Structure 1
Amino acid sequence: MAKTERTVAELMLDQLSLFGVRRIYGVVGDATFGLIDALAKQDKIKYIAVKHESTAAFMASAEAKLTGGLGVCTATMGPGAANLLNGLGDAHADKASVLAITGQAPSNKIGTEFPQYIDQQELMKPFATYSANLANPDATIEVLQKAARTSLGQRVVTHLSVPKDIFMMPATGEPRPLPDVIEGASIFTKESLEQATGILKTAKRPMILAGSGAASASEELEKLADLWGAGILTSLGGKGLFDESSLHNLQGIGEGGNPYASDLFKVADVVLLAGTAWWPEGYVPTGARIIQIDPHFDKFVKDIPTELGITGKAEEVLPFITESLQGFSRSEDWVARCQEIKEKWALHNEKEGSSTGYPVHPARIIRALDRTVAPDAILALDTGDNTVWTNRNFRQKEQSVLFSGYWRTMGFGLPAAMAAKLIKPEKQVVAVVGDGGLQMVLADLLTATRYELNITVVVLNNESLQMERDKLKAANKKEVGVDLTNPDFIKLAEACGWKGLRATSDTELESVLEEALHMDAPTLVDISTAQVFFPETQ
């Protein structure tokens, strides 16, 4: 390759742009000055400056989850790189394609007592499938290509550390796009799926558990459920795949799901899992035969006693299974039992969502959100009681939901909402957060102000770490540290350039939320929330 006049940092940005990267989230530090200088000189990739590196990594993870593309974050060496870890843990746990680029000590100081130096490859080892230190400018394109291919191909975190001096060295090589990948359909036939259909035909009490990986197969799953006589339960990621009116849709499973469905699920004799690797602890049907459909075979090892794994996409597999089950004699008693559970939960849920009083019952808050947010809004959930109450009471339509699935970190909601608004500025974006989770990232209210991100943050303010309080009570343990010392969130939001609204009664929830959702500015809604013991806490 002919030499170019670009620095390593400039070449990296040109290469990332070819990968489709449009934003890099980060905090400026001296070990990345070469990269910051290159970012300032171009306009293909926007640098989003945040207040804390964990926010940068959360935003990169949220972008990857929402788009399926490559999320990129950056930080300086030492403490900056360490602060990325929480967000990278989220991306790692939820299989989001994220690339972290960190500055490193000058190349002649690596391995010495240089301030802030640490072996970053060791630091990133728990989360990064591929981590490399760029030791020579000539390797720039090769290591970036490998990082991007690995992240996007395997849906994992990758990491590059770049010594401070190397960022600014002249670079050789030319950017090149990733190779196009033609993803052919898996070759399935009725005959190749005979083992699966043979198991399904033994069912007297069939159940389907669906997740986000079955997003393109919801119609096929409903056809199968009707023919097979199965109830359908969904993980949080699968929420909204099926219309609430669907005869076989029993809503969610696990904490925040349909509480009556757990006993039903435990007596199922055959279970089909489609597009989910999540299995709530304690729900495993004793002696049930389990079939799991997923394109990623490594997901079959997550403590699910799978009898048969089918590597493929649900939408490719299900038509053959449904065809093979034509004429199957389903159990009408089981169908009736599923319907009874569906109706029982619908009545309970409606009553719960109509709770009155102030401070407001969390179910009432979520039901108000359900009534006011746009059908195609993006919801960003923090981790805590707000997550389980949303799962329990929000009747999802076509909304997209971002959440920290396996890592379950507090502080995810606000960064995820900001990333979503940057990516989809035309969409209504709502963060549903607890007071504890929000306080972990409060400084980044100013990030939304800086980039004019008109998001709505709804704070369930019960002045406590309620989920932890509930779990301590359930375990019959004494508590300390679960009470929160909260600021006046309205004054704080206004000081950061936001609009602030407060619901002062349960009857005005909808009107306050409507006002907030139509503000032409980032808006925080503070709702005094009752300290309700979550019913399914164990």
Structure 2
Amino acid sequence: MGNTGRTVGELMLDQLSLFGVKRIYGVVGDATLGLIDALAKQDKIEYIAVKHEATAAFMASAEAKLTGGLGVCTATMGPGATNLLNGLGDAYADKAPVLAITGQAASDKIGTEYPQYIDQQELMKPFAAYSANLASPDATIEILQKAARTSLGQRVVTHISVPKDIFEMPAKGEPRPMPDVIEGASIFTKESLEQATRIMKTAKRPMILAGSGAALASDELEKLAHLWGAGILASLGGKGLFDESSAHVLQGIGEGGNPYAGELFKEADVVLLAGTKWWPEGYVPTDARIIQIDRHFDKFVKGIPAELGIIGKTEDVLPFLTEGLEGFSRSEDWVARCTEVKGKWAAENEKEGNTEGYPAHPARIIRAIDRTVAPDAILALDTGDNTVWTNRNFRQKEQTVLFSGYWRTMGFGLPAAMAAKLAKPEKQVVAVVGDGGLQMVLADLLTATRYGLDITVIVLNNESLQMERDKLEAAKKKEVGVDLTNPDFVKLAEACGWTGLRASNDSELESLLEEALNTKAPTLVDIRTAQVFFPETK
């Protein structure tokens, strides 16, 4: 096949567009000028210029988590590529399909002492399931196809480095759409799942752990829980799958969960894990029989002592488990205990969420948020004390929650909110961040301004890295470095073109948040927050 009349950079964009990519996040650099030129000449893919490459990778990861599609970020060689790593680590840890495209030294400089040169395949090895250097224009389509298929098929990070001269070379080949994939290898019947239902029928004290993999099965999970007489514990990734008022939902356990559910869970004799790899060490039963449902077999080797693994989609499996349990005589004593634990915590949680005083108690702030945000809002959480207080006190409805689950990096909240608004412009998007996490990405307040992103950022401002302070206190260690030197966040936001609001007392939190949520522009709400020791700190 002859030359297409396109450069490699132009052909890459045409191919990515066929994959459904709508935007690429990045920072312009010398080694990617051929790609930048190609981006500027077309309008199928938007280039989102951010202030730091980690933000670009965070945004690609958040978009991939939210949509299930391919998130793409780009950076120049050397420091640009290394700056991507934190965001790629987040995508790697949470199995988000992300492709990173980085510039590389010109072909005749690879392997030399050329400034900024580094072997990028070695650099990316811990995070990227596939990493290739595009050494010939003729391989453009084949390498892009392999990277995208690997990312989307396995929900992993992939990476392509492109020498700066190759970006501008004439390209060969034509873009090809991603082949349709028909999933159907796992065919379940009531009979094929008889081993699972046989184990479930031995239960006197059943529990269900639910995660994001059960997103399409929440109604069926509640039906199964009712029939089986089980309590449902949701991981942070499962927050939003169930309405808080659901009779069997006990919230979570561990940091931010229902403090009474942990002891109850330890008594469980049969546990069903539905779409989660969460196994909260320190809270788990020692003798329970465990059944795990997940699409990917590798999730069965993460230290969960499962007796039976079922490979498949949770929504495909549950109806047959429910059918197999018909006529099962559930333990009403256990149901009553689950109901008691749910009610006891609900009453205490309501009281905690109405704690008076200013600086405001973190629970009071989260209660104000759950009273004011839309039922279908997207919440982007940073990592820190704000995460655990949200998990503890936010009474979910149908909101979607984005967070850094296993990488647990600070600085995720603002980029995730921006990516969410770009991908789902019709949704209300709210970032809940700590002052420490926000300071890591402050420059990218300007990115929201640049693209007119109507997001609300709520800052829990306690002038400390409170989670680390709590852990030092719990370990009876001396502290240094946990106090923060904070700017005036309102003035800073306004200088960046945002609307800035500040609470002056706890009684105005709801009205202030409503004002922020109704402001059609990027808005930051600064809330002085009490330095409260988190109850579940270990």
TM-score (normalizing by structure 1): 0.99
Amino acid at match of 1:272: L
Query: Any idea what the Cα deviations from partners look like across 1:386-436, whole Å, max 9, x if unmatched?
Result: 001111111111111110000000000000000011111121111000000
The aligned runs of 1:39-54 (5 Å cut-off) are 39-54=39-54
Equivalent residue pairs, number: 538
Deviations 1:483-536 (A, max 9, x none): 000000011001101110000100000011011111121110000000000000
Q: State the secondary structure of the residue aligned to 2:165.
A: helix
After superposition, give the CA deviation of every residue in 1:227-264 in whole Å (9 maximum; x if it has no partner). Answer: 11111110011112222222211112221011100000
1:296 is matched with 296
**CA deviation after TM superposition for structure 1 residue 265, in Å:** 0.2
> Is 1:64 the equivalent of 2:64?
yes
Shift of residue 2, structure 1, vs aligned partner: 2.8
Residue 381 (structure 1) aligns with: 381
Alignment partner, residue 394 of structure 2? 394
Could you tell which deviates more after superposition, 222-231 or 138-147? 222-231
Superposed CA RMSD: 0.8
What whole-Å deviation, never above 9, does each CA across 1:109-167 have from its counterpart, x for those lacking one? 00000000000000000000000000000000000000000000000000000000000
Q: Which residue is 1:232 aligned to? A: 232
Contact 2:242 2:398 in 1 (8 A): no
Whether the 8 Å contact between 2:132 and 2:160 is mirrored in structure 1 is yes
Q: Counterpart in 2 of 1:198?
A: 198
Q: How far 1:185 moved relative to its partner?
A: 6.5
Tell me if the contact between 1:185 and 1:316 (Cα under 8 Å) persists in the aligned partners.
no
Tell me the distance in 2 between the aligned counterparts of 1:168 and 1:314: 46
Contact in 2 for aligned 1:78/1:118 (Cα 8 Å): yes
Structure 2 partner of 1:176: 176
Q: Larger deviation: 459-468 or 242-251?
A: 242-251
Query: Which position in structure 2 is the counterpart of 1:131?
Result: 131
Distance in structure 2 (CA, Å) of the matches to 1:118 and 1:240: 43
Cα offset, 1:179, TM superposition: 0.5
Aligned pairs (5 A) from 1:154-303 = 154-184=154-184, 186-303=186-303
Give yes or no for the alignment of 1:442 onto 2:413. Answer: no
* Runs of at least 5 residues in structure 2 that lack an aligned partner in the other structure: none
CA distance in 2, matches of 1:424, 1:527: 27
Structure 1 residue 301: Cα displacement: 1.2
User: Residues of 2 paired with 1:42 and 1:240: CA distance?
Assistant: 38
Look up the match of 1:511. Answer: 511
Q: Secondary structure at the match of 2:427?
A: coil
- After superposition, residues 403-414 of structure 1 pair within 5 angstroms as 403-414=403-414
Does structure 2 retain, via aligned residues, the 8 Å contact 1:417–1:455?
Answer: yes
Q: Distance in 2 between matches of 1:397 and 1:374?
A: 9
CA distance in 1, matches of 2:39, 2:102: 14
Provide the residue aligned with 2:95 in structure 1.
Answer: 95
1:143 is aligned to: 143
* Structure-to-structure mapping, 1:294-373, within 5 angstroms: 294-373=294-373
- The Cα of 1:219 is off from its aligned counterpart by 1.4
Letter in structure 2 aligned against 1:353? G
CA distance in 2, matches of 1:400, 1:315: 19
List structure 1 runs of 4+ shifted beyond 6 angstroms: none
Equivalent residues of 2:469, 2:479 under 8 A apart? yes
Query: Is the contact made by 1:54 and 1:86 (CA closer than 8 Å) also made in structure 2?
Result: yes
Is 290-299 or 236-245 further displaced after alignment? 236-245
1:10-56: CA deviations, max 9, x gaps? Answer: 00000000000010000000000000000011111010000000000
Structure 1: gaps of 5 or more residues: none
Would you say 1:427 and 2:431 are equivalent positions? no
Moved more, 50-59 or 389-398: 389-398
The answer to whether residue 16 in structure 2 is matched with residue 11 in structure 1 is no
Asked if the contact 1:278–1:302 (Cα under 8 Å) also holds between the matched residues in 2, the reply is no
